[in-house]
Amino acid sequence: MPITYERNDERRLITATITEPYSVDDILGVIDRQAAEGTWEYAMLYDLRGATHLNTQAEAQQIADRVTAISAGGARGPVGMAISAKPEQFRQGVRFAEVTKNIVTLEVLLTATQVTDWLARNAQRRPARR
């Protein structure tokens, strides 16, 4: 299975770990699932460090269009995209951030430290309800 989807309600965090082979439809399925679960405001970490390619420009636009349609102007939680530091993946990550800049705040994360820092800022443990 190319995508592992983990939801942590305590941290209000969803992590989608993506490996090969995957398609744009797999990514759209993650977006649809998050919306169906009513967790649109959760932090969302896409971990693509195990993938060898990222989406094309056309696929990135298709993803952006789906997010726009689902959010319908509503607030979305922060989105992080962990990728390898390979030059081509970095270029693709920057292009994806550019395509989505008007609909979501996306951080492209290149190192384990950046991922850890992103999680600390965006997916802090919440105190237990009494």
Whole-angstrom distance, CA of residue 45 vs CA of residue 4: 12
Cis before 78? omega within 30:
no
pLDDT of res. 96: 86
* pLDDT higher than 70, residue 127: no
Q: Summarize the confidence of residues 120-127 as an average pLDDT.
A: 82
Task: Phi first, then psi: give them for residue 27, nearest 5 degrees.
Answer: -65, -45
Residue 129, in any domain of the structure: no
| Residue 37 belongs to a domain | yes
In a domain, 61, yes or no: yes
CB-neighbour burial class of residue 1 (10 A; exposed 0-12, middle 13-18, buried 19+) = exposed
Residue 52 lies in a domain: yes
At residue 75, the pLDDT reads 79
Return mean pLDDT, the chain: 89
In a domain, 41, yes or no: yes
SS3 annotation, 77-127: CCEEEECCCCHHHHHHHHHHHHHHCCCCCEEEECCHHHHHHHHHHHCCCCC
Answer whether residue 102 is part of any domain.
yes
Q: Say which CATH number the domain at 55 has.
A: 3.30.750
Task: Give CA–CA dist 42/79, Å, rounded.
Answer: 9
Counting the structural domains of the chain, the total is 1
> Domain span at residue 102?
3-122
Q: Flag whether 23 is in a domain.
A: yes
- Per residue in 6-65, pLDDT (tens digit) is 999 999 999 999 998 899 999 999 999 999 999 999 999 999 998 887 778 889 899 989
Out of 8-17, 61-70, 95-104, pick the least confident: 95-104
Residue 128, domain member (yes or no): no
Between the alpha carbon of residue 42 and those of residues 53, 59, 87, 126, the distances in Å are 26, 23, 30, 12
**What contacts 113, CB < 8 A, 6 or more positions away?**
none
What percent of the chain lies above the pLDDT cut of 70? Answer: 95
